Amino acid sequence: MLPNDAFSARIGAMRQSLIRKVFDCKKSTSINLGLGQPSESVPLQIIDEGMRRLKQGDMGYTANAGMLTLRDKIARSHHLPFAGSAENVVVTCGAQEAIVAAMAACLDVGDEVIVADPSFPGYAMAAEFLGAQVVTAQRFESEDFRLNTGALAGKISSRTRLVVLNSPGNPTGKCDTEAELQALAELADKHNFFILCDEIYADILYTQSEMPSATQFSKRAILVSGLSKNVAMTGFRLGYLIAPDPLALALTRAHAVLTSCAPTLSQHMAGYVFENPQLRKVHLPLYAERRQNAINALRTHLPHTPHTMPDGAFYILLNCARFTNNSLDFALQILEQTDVLTTPGLAFGESTRQWLRLSFAGTPENFTTGVERLAPFFKIRATD
C-alpha cells in the first residue's frame, strides 16, 4: 500500500462529503430520503432521439465548447441580456464540471470565494481543490435562508474574486429575491468579482412561474445549469455554462483541459430537449404532488418538528435542534436504527448543523414510509 505522502498535498487536503459519508453506510434495504436523485426515468421521447442518433453513428468528438447547434439552442432558450449566441455557451460534463471549469477560469491560488452557509458542499470543495480560500456568508432561518446582500457585503475583501449563488437552493429550496440579486450585481461591478449562478433547479418551481437571476443584472455573472434534475438525465452528464464575452472563451479553455468535450450522445439528446422546451418542465407536476405529499407526511407523523417550505427543488429541511447538536451523528443513528437514509444539515454548513435534509425526489410512498419510520425514533428522543 502506498503511503499517504505519495499523493499530492491537494488530494491529501480534500475532505469527504458528509452527504456521501452517510450514503456509503446505507444498506440495500434502506429507504433513501438522502440523495437528490430523481426517481423518474428520462422521458421516452428523449431516449428515442438518443437511439435514433446512435443508429446514425455520428458519435465522434465535438468542438470543445460543444455542438454549435446545441449551444445556439441553449443561448436562445435563456434570453440573457449579455449572452444571446452560441459563442456564449459552453457544454460541460454535468453541472459539477461546469462549476469547476468556471472556478478554474476565474480563480488564482489565494483568491477568495464567498459561498452561502448553508450551501451545496461541492462549491467549497472545488474552490479549495483549486487553491482558493473559502469565505462563508451565513443565511438565516429567520429570513427563510434567502440571500441577505447586506450581510454578504461584510465578507467582501480585496481578494474576493467570486460569489456563488444557488437558487432555488440546495438544501433550502428557497429562491433569492430580485432586490437582493440586483444589489449583489451592483456590488460585483463595484468590487470587480464574478457571480456564479447555479440554477440547476430553475425548472422546478412551486410558488412562482419564474425566478429572478443575477444574470439579468450583471455582465459579471455566469450561469450554470444542466439536465440532471429537470429531465432526470443524471447519468448522461450534460451541463452547461453561459457567460458574456470574453469570459466564455476562458471557460472553454478551462473545460477543454478538464474533459475535452461533453458526451456526444448526450449533446444530441440535449438538442432535442431544447427544441422541445416543454420537456424541461415535464416532471414539475409530479414534483409538486410529491412536495405536498411530503408536507402532509411531516405534518401527520412529525407534527412537532418544524420544517421548511420549499419554493423549488425537491428538498425539505427538518429542524432537529430538540434532539441533537450534531446532525451527522444523528443521521448515522437514524440509518442504523430505522434504516432510513437522511442527509445531515452539517454537510451544508454550520447554520444547519442541527437540521436534516430530506429529499422528496423519490416516490410519495417512499417518502411517507420513511417518515413513518422516523416518527417513533423522534418520539422516544422527545421524551428523554
Q: Is the pLDDT of residue 27 over 70?
A: yes
Q: How many CA atoms lie within 13 A of 325 on its CB side?
A: 0
Q: What is the mean pLDDT of the chain?
A: 95
- Into how many domains does the chain fold? 2
116 pairs with which residues across the strands? 137
CATH number at residue 159: 3.40.640.10
Q: How far apart are CA 118 and CA 289, in angstroms?
A: 26
Q: How far apart are CA 82 and CA 53, in angstroms?
A: 32
Assess whether 214 and 93 both reside in one domain. Answer: yes
Q: Are 273 and 298 in contact (CB under 8 A)?
A: no
Assess whether 11 and 21 both reside in one domain. Answer: yes
User: Exposed/middle/buried for 333, CB within 10 Å: 0-12, 13-18, 19+?
Assistant: middle
User: Exposed/middle/buried for 9, CB within 10 Å: 0-12, 13-18, 19+?
Assistant: exposed
The CA-CA-CA angle for residues 32, 36, 42, to 5°, reads: 100
Q: Give the domain-ending residue among 280, 306, 329.
A: 280
Reported as a pLDDT band with limits 50, 70 and 90, residue 2 is low
Q: Are 146 and 174 in contact (CB under 8 A)?
A: yes
User: What percent of the chain is predicted at pLDDT more than 90?
Assistant: 89
Q: Give the domain-ending residue among 245, 280, 315.
A: 280
Assess whether 320 and 179 both reside in one domain. Answer: no
Q: Is the pLDDT of residue 17 over 90?
A: no
- Give the residue among 263, 195, 252 at the shortest CA–CA distance from 223: 195
Assess whether 184 and 258 both reside in one domain. Answer: yes
Q: Is the pLDDT of residue 9 over 90?
A: no
The CA-CA-CA angle for residues 102, 107, 111, to 5°, reads: 145
- Kind of pairing, strands 343-344 and 355-359? antiparallel
pLDDT at position 83 is 81
pLDDT at position 318 is 98
Assess whether 325 and 226 both reside in one domain. Answer: no
**pTM, whole model, 2 decimals?**
0.95
Q: What is the pLDDT of residues 340-376, one digit of tens each?
A: 999 999 999 999 999 999 999 999 999 999 999 999 9
pLDDT at position 150 is 93
Measure CA 134 to chain center: 18
Q: Is the pLDDT of residue 4 over 80?
A: no
Q: How far apart are CA 180 and CA 178, in angstroms?
A: 6
Reported as a pLDDT band with limits 50, 70 and 90, residue 384 is low
Radius of gyration of the chain from Cα atoms?
21
Assess whether 239 and 287 both reside in one domain. Answer: no
Q: Are 286 and 292 in contact (CB under 8 A)?
A: no
Q: How far apart are CA 260 and CA 347, in angstroms?
A: 31
Q: What is the pLDDT of residues 289-326, one digit of tens each?
A: 999 999 999 999 999 999 999 999 999 999 999 999 99
Assess whether 344 and 262 both reside in one domain. Answer: no
Assess whether 63 and 95 both reside in one domain. Answer: yes
pLDDT at position 23 is 87
Q: Give the domain-ending residue among 260, 280, 300.
A: 280
- Kindly report the backbone phi and psi dihedral angles of residue 319, in degrees, each rounded to the nearest multiple of 5, phi listed first: -80, 110
Measure CA 279 to chain center: 20
Q: Are 139 and 98 in contact (CB under 8 A)?
A: no
Q: Is the pLDDT of residue 1 over 70?
A: no
- Give the residue among 203, 169, 202, 165 at the shortest CA–CA distance from 184: 165
pLDDT at position 254 is 98
Assess whether 57 and 164 both reside in one domain. Answer: yes
Assess whether 131 and 255 both reside in one domain. Answer: yes
CATH number at residue 328: 3.90.1150.10
Assess whether 338 and 305 both reside in one domain. Answer: yes
Average pLDDT over residues 209-236: 96
Average pLDDT over residues 160-186: 97
User: What percent of the chain is predicted at pLDDT more than 70?
Assistant: 98
Q: How far apart are CA 204 and CA 59, in angstroms?
A: 31
Q: How many CA atoms lie within 13 A of 292 on its CB side?
A: 7
Assess whether 295 and 200 both reside in one domain. Answer: no
Give the 3-state DSSP-derived string for the chain, with helices as H, strands as E and coil as C.
Answer: CCCHHHCCHHHHCCCCCHHHHHHCCCCCCCEECCCCCCCCCCCHHHHHHHHHHHHHCCCCCCCCCCCHHHHHHHHHHHCECCECCHHHEEEECHHHHHHHHHHHHHCCCCCEEEEEECCCCHHHHHHHHCCCEEEEEECCHHHCCCCCHHHHHCCCCCCEEEEEEECCCCCCCCCCCHHHHHHHHHHHHHHCCEEEEECCCCCCECCCCCCCCHHHCCCCEEEEEECCCCCCCHHHCCEEEECCCCHHHHHHHHHHHHHCCCCHHHHHHHHHHHHCHHHHHCCHHHHHHHHHHHHHHHHHHCCCCCECCCCECCEEEEECCCCCCCHHHHHHHHHHHHCEECEEHHHHCHHHCCEEEEECCCCHHHHHHHHHHHHHHHHHHHHC
Q: What is the pLDDT of residues 91-138, one digit of tens each?
A: 999 999 999 999 999 999 999 999 999 999 999 999 999 999 999 999
Q: Which domain holds residue 54?
A: 44-280
